[in-house]
Structure 1
Amino acid sequence: MQFIGLTLLAFTCLAAFPAATPALLAPIRSNGTLAAPSNFALELRAVIRQIPKDNIEDLVRIYLLNDVEFQGLIRTVNSVSAYRFYRQLTNQPEVRQLLQWLNQQLVLSGGSLKVFDYLELEIKVFNKYPFWPQLAHGIQGFQSDLSRIYPVQLIRSLLEPSASQTSPLLSELWRRLVALRPVYERVLATPAGKAITGELQRLGVDVGQLDALIRYQFGWSNASLPTYDYVDYFY
């Protein structure tokens, strides 16, 4: 569904020229020992697998089947205006550059862009449990529930260079993501970006909260976010 495509594009398909914002990146230090060869396809798959896809799928299903506000949001994200925004974002030179780079590196390591297929959601048309209708509380409820299960701090820690994350290609991916901030702001400032943002606000989406999450996830901001201990209380 296009909602998922837009979300994944915002969280995974961003790139920029390598010369931008190098000061934000932690240096990679060698301990003098010979490291084992890394495999980018396996490394990226390991990061993606940390996203609780099944839990997110059930959460979307709960709201899509039982919440009128959320149904309106899904219609908007699948609208012509949202598609125009999606196309404008994917047509940015930096985004095309990233997709080409990702594809090349994944192929060289025995993988492909299909690694992102793991994040595709399959929504069935019946409630799994009779109490599910009581768990849907509008768009703001969905945002709050999603923030409790999406591990934003963990994903950032797995991508950002550090003492524990020394993968050259993951570090290069992080560098490109960090440098994309001007592109993100440029696209949001276009008529298509303003239109979809305004429509989301009209529907009740906390656009500021969503923006803060995106900026933190990609290293454009170090502002603290609420920390939740994940509890599997939906299912």
Structure 2
Amino acid sequence: MRFIGCAFLGFMCLVAFPSATPAILAPIRPYGQNGTLAQQNNFALELKSVIRQIPVDNIEKLVQTYLLNDIEFQGVIRAINSLPAYRFYRQLINQPEVRQLQQWITQQLILSGGGPKIFDYLELEIKILNKYPYWSQIVNGIQGFQAEFVQIYPVQLIRSFLEPSATQTSPQLSELWRRLVALRPVYERVLATPPGKAITAELQRLGVDVGGVDALIRYQFGWSNVTFPSYDYTDYLY
């Protein structure tokens, strides 16, 4: 299910769909100080540990609650699943830079003994009946959904797992982070297209805090440091 597809869970939208074309990027081959190949980390296990930080069960419950009981949220879901939104989504993931990222991730997963199936964990299963009767009394429109979502989605934790730091020293996760940061011009380019402007305007008309979604995406991928202004990632953009 795509919900606020290229927004709240943009990471999955970028990496969960492997390209049909063969991978062309060479694998990372780190060398030790003595000139020999250093022991490689297992990229599949590392990425799986990042994905596992996403509380899918809680998100699934939240989406189900609002989808079954909130008219505003239902309208947003219909917009996200509309043909114009699908065309916008395809336009985004077919950008050359995004396809190259997909190829690189698929290649690294295969080389480390994994595969794209590790993203199956992110799939949501929505049932058609309220699990609890009180669900119908606790929804509060699309703004209520967004407020609850940001409380359960660990954006800072996920960023800390991907971003190079004293504790995150994996060469492959660092390379993934560099490639994600480098997608900022792609994101802005696609949003500036007529389809991008149209879907953004429609979501805003339906009550979505588009600015809040944009801020979450930019922080998650290192394009902005509104929460931590002491950070500076301009070096990644050049």
- TM bracket (short chain): 0.7 to 0.9
Residue 67 (structure 1) shift: 0.3
Match of 1:22 in 2: none
Q: Please state whether the residue corresponding to 1:2 is helix, strand or coil.
A: coil
Q: Cα gap change, 1:194/1:4 in structure 2, threshold over 3 Å: closer, same or farther?
A: closer
Shift in CA distance, 124/31, structure 1 to aligned 2, threshold 3 Å:
farther
Aligned residue number for residue 10 of structure 1: 10
1:155 to 148, 153, 158: 158
Helix, strand or coil at the partner of 1:126: coil
The reply to whether residue 93 of structure 1 matches residue 96 of structure 2 is yes
Match of 2:64 in 1: 61
- In the comparison of the two structures, how many residue pairs are matched? 210
Q: Distance in 2 between matches of 1:65 and 1:36?
A: 50
Alignment of 1:1-235 (within 5 A): 1-3=1-3, 6-7=6-7, 10-14=10-14, 37-224=40-227
Instruction: Determine what percentage of the aligned residue pairs are the same residue.
Output: 74
Return the structure number with greater relative CO, CA threshold 8 A, min gap 6: 1
RMSD: 2.1
Give the C-alpha shift of residue 94 in structure 1.
0.5
1:117: how far off?
A: 1.0
Contiguous gaps of at least 5 residues in structure 2: 16-31, 229-238
User: Cα offset for 1:5?
Assistant: 5.0
User: What's the offset of the Cα at 1:35?
Assistant: 7.4
- Residue type at the aligned position of 1:100: Q
Q: Displacement, 1:49? A: 0.2
**Which whole-Å CA distance do the structure 1 matches of 2:207 and 2:111 have between them?**
44
CA contact (8 A) 2:6 2:13 kept: no
Ranges of 4+ aligned residues in structure 1 off by more than 6 Å: none
User: Is contact 1:4–1:121 with CA below 8 Å preserved after alignment?
Assistant: no
Match for 1:208: what amino acid?
A: G
In the TM superposition, residue 109 of structure 1 has moved relative to its aligned partner by 0.5
Q: Is the 8 A contact 1:73 1:200 kept in 2?
A: yes
Aligned amino acid, residue 2 of structure 1: R
Q: 1:14 to 1:180 in 2, by over 3 A?
A: farther
Q: Any stretches of 5+ residues in structure 1 without a counterpart?
A: 16-29, 226-235
1:135, CA displacement in angstroms? Answer: 1.5
Give the TM-score taking structure 2 as reference length.
Answer: 0.83
